[in-house]
Amino acid sequence: MRARAVAAALTAVLVPATPAAPAASAEPVAAEGRPYLYLEGPPGTVLQDTLSLTNPGRRPLTLRLRATAPWVAFAANPVTVPPRTRADVPFSVTVPPDTPPGDHTGALLAKGGTGGDVTVPVRLRVGGPRLAALTVEDVRITGEAIHYTLVNRGNTVLEPRLAVRAEGLLGEVLHRPERPLRLELRPGRRVGLSEPWAGRDRPALDRVTVRLDATAGDGTRAGAEATGTFGTRWAGGASAAAVAAAGAVTWRTRRRGRGARGADG
């Protein structure tokens, strides 16, 4: 597939050799007045264009090519350009199928002799629909913290926010409102994180259910829960018994109240 691109040329000028350091230098010249290459296509395609190398000197010039732009392959490398001749070097950009839509930047570079690199910037735009997908996984509760993993399962970069709630047998024990995590979560990335218990928040003898709710700026939402017991093995039963006893006292109190009202009536 032919890319939408701006053809670029490298005009290589041979510097007269000296006994100490023979060198070559070059200057990029872009067609249509644009000093960079521009390519655009969807994931899973091969984009193609040509880099022109011109040698106006009187000696052959050998240039080694490399790319800082992603997924670039040259048809020939190195390239020897005869005197007063232009060499056209095809190159391709193979965009992986799972590449997220967005812009990528880099450069094509040519180096000859002991001179520095000659650079032609490359701008690559990967098209396609954007999919935002976030999951909260592997939630685990310990005495020190609430541990969890955030996973970006879409094809866009996410900046997640998190809210945390925890309910014990007697009611809420932790409530942390939604806040940014100051994390850039790239597609396919998994990050293990934790929420430490504050001294006053850490349950002593209780059975606690923790709820984690994660969001991203585009409306993406994900959540997960986990339950843990704090204290000795009998702590959970003791706490449950305490709750049951509290309920019984409430029920009896209400019943006595009803009886008293009935007697008055």
Q: What mean pLDDT do residues 140-148 have?
A: 96
Q: Is the pLDDT of residue 234 over 50?
A: no
Q: Under 8 Å CB-to-CB from 256, ≥6 apart: which residues?
A: none
DSSP state of 23: B
What pLDDT digit, counting tens, does each position of 105-133 carry?
899 998 875 566 788 888 998 998 888 89
What pLDDT digit, counting tens, does each position of 190-229 carry?
999 999 998 888 888 999 999 999 999 778 999 999 999 9
What is the SS3 assignment for 55-98? ECCCCCEEEEEEECCCCEEECCCCEEECCCEEEEEEEEEECCCC
Size (the chain), residues: 265
pLDDT band of residue 154 (cuts 50, 70, 90) is confident
pLDDT band of residue 232 (cuts 50, 70, 90) is low
Q: Return the SS3 of 247.
A: helix
C-alpha count within 13 angstroms, C-beta hemisphere, residue 1 = 14
At residue 40, the pLDDT reads: 93
State how far the Cα of 231 lies from the Cα of 228, in Å rounded to an integer.
10
Phi and psi at residue 12, to the nearest 5°? -95, 130
List the domains of the chain with CATH numbers: 8-126 (2.60.40.2310), 134-231 (2.60.40.10)
At residue 168, the pLDDT reads: 95
Residue 87, both tokens: 């060499």
The residue with greater pLDDT, 223 or 54, is 223
User: DSSP E strands: which ranges in 206-263?
Assistant: 206-215, 221-230
At residue 115, the pLDDT reads: 60
